[in-house]
Amino acid sequence: MTSQPHSGINDLGKPVILGIPFDANSSWLRGSAGAPPIIRVAFRSDSGNMWTETGVDLGAAGAYLDAGDLKFHFQQAFTVIEDKVGELLDRGLRPVCLGGDHSITLPVVRAFGKRIPGLTIIHFDAHPDLYDELEGNRLSHACPFARIMEEGCAKRLIQVGIRTINGHQREQAAKFGVEVIEMRHLPALDKMKVDGSVYISFDMDVLDPAFVPGISHREPGGMSVREALAHLQAITGHIAGADIVEFNPAQDSSQLTATVAAKLLKEVLGKMILD
Ligand code: MN
Ligand code: MN
């Protein structure tokens, strides 16, 4: 059901979905590599219509593009991901990547950083993912934002919903100038107002596991779906791209998490189409 777009001039600026079925840098449970096709099914389900809350009809012909799911061997994964995202950006499109574990955000944002100076990342997560390394793996899904800041891929990193920060990651946040908005300090709608190009990285475990059992790291005390949507909808600036990661279908007993991921995808696409 994917249309491989040969985008023309009329497609400039459109969002394009890209599935990234990769979970080899997960530190606890595998399974998130299976997420992209399941999110697509929930996204297109006849249980609801294709309109966003903000009045965008995603069912209209050509509202968004879909580049399908990437294929790669483990060893080449990060190169293939960065190259493909770069190709989509070079065609004037705005990639919305479906993970996969959170490690994929590093090659994705590398492609953005090489093309879009002064990027602001708004990162929704229970975890800061700022470890220098975890279990000897510097590419772990616990580390992508340390690498992103070291490599200068973004100007600002704003993290929201954090509730597992430890001493090491607090030091890392201070070292990189990360703006950490902890879960206990929400709501923070005013802090979603930023200028310039914005990349949204949405780790599903920012949500309370009561809403999304299908995640690898269930961290209680998280956002409701409504709180997440409110913070997403409050973001200003130009949304250059986004990802939705860490949905683990193997943990999702009722397909509820797939439905939530699809809802978030809808609202992110709608936001990109409106700005
Ligand atoms: Mn994460
Ligand atoms: Mn997380």
Ligand nearest to the CA of 201: 1
- Half-sphere exposure (Cβ direction) of 140: Cα atoms closer than 13 Å: 17
List, in order of start, the domains of the chain with CATH numbers. 9-274 (3.40.800.10)
d(CA 138, CA 237): 31
Q: What is the distance in A from the centroid of ligand 2 to the CA of 122?
A: 14
What are the backbone angles phi and psi of residue 123, rounded to the nearest 5°?
-115, 110
Angle at 203 between CA 65 and CA 164, to 5 degrees: 170
Q: What is the distance in A from the centroid of ligand 1 to the CA of 141?
A: 6
Cβ pair 33, 22 in contact under 8 A = yes
Ligand nearest to the CA of 162: 2
Q: What is the distance in A from the centroid of ligand 2 to the CA of 88?
A: 26
User: Could you tell me the pTM of the whole model?
Assistant: 0.96
**pLDDT tens per residue across all 275 residues of the chain:** 444 455 566 899 999 999 999 999 999 999 999 999 999 999 999 999 999 999 999 999 999 999 999 999 988 999 999 999 999 999 999 999 999 999 999 999 999 999 999 999 999 999 999 999 999 999 999 999 999 999 999 999 999 999 999 999 999 999 999 999 999 999 999 999 999 999 999 999 999 999 999 999 999 999 999 999 999 999 999 999 999 999 999 999 899 999 999 999 999 999 999 98
Distance spanning both ends of the chain, measured CA to CA: 27
- What is residue 1's predicted lDDT score, i.e. its pLDDT? 41
- What is residue 85's predicted lDDT score, i.e. its pLDDT? 98
* Consecutive H or E run containing 160: strand 156-162
- Regarding beta strands 94-98 and 156-162, do their DSSP bridges make them parallel or antiparallel, or are they unpaired? unpaired
Ligand nearest to the CA of 202: 1
Of the candidates 219, 223, 211, 220, the residue with the CA atom closest to the CA atom of residue 260? 211
Of the candidates 210, 234, 225, the residue with the CA atom closest to the CA atom of residue 263? 225
- What is residue 8's predicted lDDT score, i.e. its pLDDT? 67
Of the candidates 232, 228, 237, 177, the residue with the CA atom closest to the CA atom of residue 207? 228
Q: What is the distance in A from the centroid of ligand 1 to the CA of 252?
A: 18
Looking at this protein, which amino acid is placed at residue 84? K
- What is residue 193's predicted lDDT score, i.e. its pLDDT? 98
Q: What is the DSSP letter of 44?
A: T
What are the backbone angles phi and psi of residue 200, rounded to the nearest 5°?
-105, 120
Q: What is the distance in A from the centroid of ligand 1 to the CA of 90?
A: 27
